[in-house]
Amino acid sequence: MPDLTKQEPAAAAPVAPRGGTVLEVRNVTLKFGGLTALDDVSFEIAEGEILGLIGPNGAGKTTCFNAVTGVYRPTSGDILFEGASIIGLKKHKITQKGIARTFQNIRLFPTMTALENVLVGTDAQHTTGMLSALFRLPRHRREEEQGHARAMELLRFMGIHRKADELAANLSYGDQRRLEIARAMATGPKLICLDEPAAGFNPAEKVELMNLIRKVRDQGYTVLLIEHDMKLVMGVTDRIVVLEFGRKIAEGAPAEIRDNPAVIAAYLGVDEEDAS
């Protein structure tokens, strides 16, 4: 029966809370020609954690996401998901293994309904092919039923179930953002990467989103969050990694990051010598 806590590790969580490492980024360097977008970046995400990835514009946050989700292949270094390297895997394989993401610029399937968008996500774990569909074999029926139930559940979780039959293109901006998260969750991931989910939100909506991200984590997902809004990042994350010019300049709990002179320098644009 599909439900929001179907992730096995989460069910076992009370015994071993914040268990092993879900994702390990190990000395990843990524170069585009002469430009070094990521320079020897390493960090880990523990299970059930909300990790914030912050940094000024152009620091390499989204590039880092793209490396994790297989869009770019690192020039050197390794990315381990649940202990196994995912370098060189096809993008859809990485998703099927359990890493889902949203996009900085919303990228829904505009002419499909909200429900269908989420169904595409649930299909990541399905195997119905042409013949199953054509002859309506039991597998097709089972997967359709499960997928629909799960998709509606996720839409309800996001509070947009009333709009299930609307085209994604016709949803409001905020609902499109919510739908993207629902679609990512539908792929059955262990790790969800949110790329600036609060972009364009007003303060009230941001508070709501913070609660939502916590709720997502409480469902047993691990969250990697890129965010510009410092307040939101500080409020919701367990740990923060700061990037600047492709390099990791700090890592630690939100309180530590807030007082870190290098981070302040990076954000306020002070020379590092002056800051230290």
Binding site for another protein (CB under 8 A): 69, 71, 90-92, 95-96, 100-101, 103, 107-113, 116, 119-121, 123-126, 128-130, 132-134, 136, 140, 143-144, 147, 165-167, 170, 183-184, 187
CB of 93 to another protein, least distance (A): 8
Q: Which is nearer to another protein, 102 or 222 (CB)?
A: 102
Q: Which is nearer to another protein, 98 or 257 (CB)?
A: 98
How far, CA to CA in Å, does 72 sit from each of 19, 26, 89, 169? 29, 15, 11, 28
Q: Which is nearer to another protein, 70 or 244 (CB)?
A: 70
Q: Which is nearer to another protein, 3 or 90 (CB)?
A: 90
CB of 73 to another protein, least distance (A): 14
Q: Are strands 222-226 and 50-54 parallel, antiparallel or unpaired?
A: parallel
CB of 187 to another protein, least distance (A): 5
CB of 69 to another protein, least distance (A): 6
Q: Which is nearer to another protein, 197 or 237 (CB)?
A: 197
How is residue 167 annotated by DSSP? B
List CB contacts of 25: < 8 A, sequence separation 6 or more: 41, 42, 43, 44, 64, 67, 68, 77, 79
Q: Which is nearer to another protein, 91 or 215 (CB)?
A: 91
* Token pair recorded at residue 169: 């293109």
Alpha helices in the chain (DSSP H): 8-11, 61-68, 91-97, 114-122, 130-134, 138-158, 173-186, 203-218, 230-236, 254-259, 261-268, 272-275
CB of 234 to another protein, least distance (A): 28
CB of 95 to another protein, least distance (A): 4
DSSP characters for 246-269?
A: TEEEEEE-HHHHHH-HHHHHHHHT
* Token pair recorded at residue 111: 């002419």
